[in-house]
Chains A and B, each alone.
Chain A
Amino acid sequence: MAIEVKKPGLATSVQDQGRQGNYHLGIPPSGAMDQMSFRAANLLLGNEETAAALECALLGPELTFSEDTQVAVTGARMQPSLDGEQKPLDTVLDVRAGETLAFGFASAGARGYLAVSGGIDVPVVLGSRSTYALGALGGLHGRTLQPGDLLETGKPPPARPVGKTIPSSMQVPVSREREIRVVLGLYDARVEVQSLKRFLSEPWQVASESDRIGYRFKGGTPLNFVPREPPFGAGDDPSNIVDACYPIGSIQVPSGQQPIVLHRDAVSGGGYMMIGTVISADMDVFGQMPPNTSVRFVDVSLEQALQARAERRQRLDGIRAALRG
């Protein structure tokens, strides 16, 4: 089965669970930014939970299908339509050969996930089909989709009953105001105590240049640094460190100005100090934050981070149980 890309949307890419093992050479994990929504779309269709899907940022693509199939759309509130007829989100949809699937603007959230029965079949590169556009690696020709692209799909599982739906209690919450939990550390001691407290007390807005590499924030007060003699090799700016590896989710603040949270297409290292790291349970949230979303960073302990991680796993297990069979 082939899917033809009529219109590519704003930034549509093939993504799955991501890759690991080569971050030390600068290859980031990539993969769906909102893993929960991505996995739910596959579970709806009876696909492998990590089958490759399309991640559609803000403005979805327009696609036609060469054969009858089933699809599911999860994540951002981007209303799908088939040949102009509106269809529901978070459910199994039948698609007929020749029909055109289109999407409305994201009315909430930022990334829709389109799973297709059998998954998107592009070559597996370093253990994943995910697109890493900066390195022209993986996905379809290492880039976001373009008009005229053809996508193949894998062997479909048995068809699912149309209308099977994710229980509303398990749908990913999308909201214009978010709390992001953070474990402080790394180079937080470079920042004056009162300045760090203010950073955590102020609302920050998602800046428009945010993408899969990193989310940028504006609107808060710049940081004040503890005075120092620059260490050899670090650089003169008070936010410089000797170039080091960046954790996924780490919050760097170049020159103390605009915080950047690195996400799944992260630059793997560099010379800016980081004040802490977003907990693993809250990384999915970034995938659903459009520009101007208001965020507060909340510091939590490692124990709280691990508790949140366990709760996230329970929520995913709940979706698995609800959609099995």
Chain B
Amino acid sequence: MTETRYTLGGDEHLFVELSESMNLHAFFRSILITQRLAARDLPGVTEICPANASYQVRFDPDILAVGDLQSILEDIETDLGEADARLSTRVVEIPVLYNDPWTHETLMRFRERHQDPDSTDLEFAARVNGYPDIEAFIEAHSDTPWFVSMVGFVAGLPFMYQMVEQSRQIQVPKYLKPRTDTPKHTVGYGGCFSCIYSVRGAGGYQMFGVTPVPIYDPEQKNKHLSDFMIFFRPGDIVKFRPIDREEYDVILEAVERDEYTLPTAPVEFSLEAFEADIAGYPAKILEALYGN
């Protein structure tokens, strides 16, 4: 069953690939193994980084030998066994203005780097995924929740994996050549992952819209960032809600006055229950946010 591959990242990193392809089992093992490693508070371990289908540990080899670290990780993985993967996490609603003017302006500037210069990113993504128009595509992107399967690239950027059967998952290639610019808070897509760009900068993901809600702020000006400057954690569940320009402006003003409350609720997720009812279980998760 296990296809775990341990490989060195120089003398200070151990990189552990749980699966070569993306799947929720690998993602859950990444979350659960790294949580258990963190709980051991092992001397010499300096960074524990879960990712989509792999994880990485940075350590001080003067304190902890890589062979000892690998043995500990192998023991943790064996202990996990095949038991149901359960996660105490939270579900968050992110409002999104799809097909917004800012990503539109940006994508027009970088058309020569795109595989289909005559379409917008949304039109291209809708077509290659078999949707008749961008409205149907936006519905598919916003209807079901997503797992935050990794946080990174730049500070606070969530990678998200859709909670649907693999056959229904949206897949979109990245730009042929990365852009040098992406608006802050762009909702993007590359491979089988959605993301939210936490800062303005370079990027290669297709651009679908923007959220008015900040997800990274070193000055922590909003209450949903008061605990820490980065909002998302691996394992968070995200529901996108399409909004119009009017609501976008209302939320943006509320954010600026720190009067916006990001809808968030605690939730328990069971991988076994999800896999037994992939079409129905996500709605149960969303009850935590919206009630019955």
Evaluate contact between B191 and A243: CB separation under 8 angstroms.
yes
B104 contacts partner chain A, Cβ-Cβ < 8 Å = no
A10 contacts partner chain B, Cβ-Cβ < 8 Å = no
> For residue A280, which residues in chain B have a CB less than 8 angstroms away from its CB?
10-12
- 0/1 interface trace, chain A 228-249, chain B, CB 8 Å (1 if under): 0001111110001111110111
Evaluate contact between B7 and A26: CB separation under 8 angstroms.
no
B280 contacts partner chain A, Cβ-Cβ < 8 Å = no
A270 contacts partner chain B, Cβ-Cβ < 8 Å = yes
B266 contacts partner chain A, Cβ-Cβ < 8 Å = no
> For residue B52, which residues in chain A have a CB less than 8 angstroms away from its CB?
233, 242-244
**Residue among B11, B21, B232 having the largest count of chain A Cβ atoms under 10 Å:** B11
C-alpha gap A77/B19 in the complex (Å): 48
Cβ distance B270 to chain A, nearest Cβ, rounded Å: 23
Evaluate contact between B218 and A185: CB separation under 8 angstroms.
no
Evaluate contact between A185 and B230: CB separation under 8 angstroms.
no
Evaluate contact between A243 and B10: CB separation under 8 angstroms.
no
Q: CB within 8 A of A306: which of B61, B190, B230?
A: B61
Evaluate contact between B21 and A269: CB separation under 8 angstroms.
no
> For residue A136, which residues in chain B have a CB less than 8 angstroms away from its CB?
199, 218
Spot the interface stretch: A16-24, A103-111, A287-295: A16-24
Evaluate contact between A26 and B230: CB separation under 8 angstroms.
yes
Cβ distance A152 to chain B, nearest Cβ, rounded Å: 19
Evaluate contact between A135 and B199: CB separation under 8 angstroms.
yes
Contacts of B17-67 to chain A: CB distance below 8 A: 17, 19-23, 34, 46-56, 58, 61-62, 66
Contacts of A253-292 to chain B: CB distance below 8 A: 267-271, 274, 276-280
Q: CB within 8 A of A24: which of B23, B47, B154?
A: B47
C-alpha gap A240/B190 in the complex (Å): 11
CB-nearest residue of chain A to B67: A302
Spot the interface stretch: B94-102, B134-142, B145-153, B254-262: B145-153
Evaluate contact between A240 and B152: CB separation under 8 angstroms.
no
C-alpha gap A240/B47 in the complex (Å): 24
- 0/1 interface trace, chain A 298-309, chain B, CB 8 Å (1 if under): 000010011001
Evaluate contact between B152 and A25: CB separation under 8 angstroms.
yes
> For residue A302, which residues in chain B have a CB less than 8 angstroms away from its CB?
8, 11, 66
Evaluate contact between B152 and A231: CB separation under 8 angstroms.
no
Cβ distance B281 to chain A, nearest Cβ, rounded Å: 21
Tally A residues with Cβ within 8 Å of B: 52
- 0/1 interface trace, chain B 245-273, chain A, CB 8 Å (1 if under): 00000000000000000000000000000
Evaluate contact between A244 and B56: CB separation under 8 angstroms.
yes
> For residue B198, which residues in chain A have a CB less than 8 angstroms away from its CB?
26
> For residue B23, which residues in chain A have a CB less than 8 angstroms away from its CB?
232
C-alpha gap A309/B11 in the complex (Å): 9
C-alpha gap A182/B53 in the complex (Å): 25
Evaluate contact between B152 and A26: CB separation under 8 angstroms.
yes
Evaluate contact between A309 and B153: CB separation under 8 angstroms.
no
Evaluate contact between A231 and B155: CB separation under 8 angstroms.
no
C-alpha gap A234/B22 in the complex (Å): 7
- 0/1 interface trace, chain A 21-65, chain B, CB 8 Å (1 if under): 111111100000000000000000000000000000000000000
B240 contacts partner chain A, Cβ-Cβ < 8 Å = no
Evaluate contact between B230 and A24: CB separation under 8 angstroms.
no
Cβ distance A40 to chain B, nearest Cβ, rounded Å: 21
Known: A185-B7, A242-B22. A269 touches B152 (CB 8 A): yes
Q: CB within 8 A of B155: which of A135, A236, A249?
A: A135
Q: Which residues of A contact B (CB under 8 A)?
A: 20-27, 125, 132, 134-138, 142, 182-183, 185-186, 231-236, 240-245, 247-250, 267-271, 274, 276-280, 302, 305-306, 309, 313
25 contacts between A and B (CB under 8 A): A21-B46, A132-B155, A134-B199, A135-B154, A135-B156, A137-B229, A185-B9, A233-B21, A233-B191, A234-B191, A240-B191, A242-B53, A242-B54, A244-B17, A244-B54, A245-B54, A247-B15, A248-B13, A267-B153, A267-B154, A268-B154, A269-B152, A270-B153, A277-B10, A278-B10
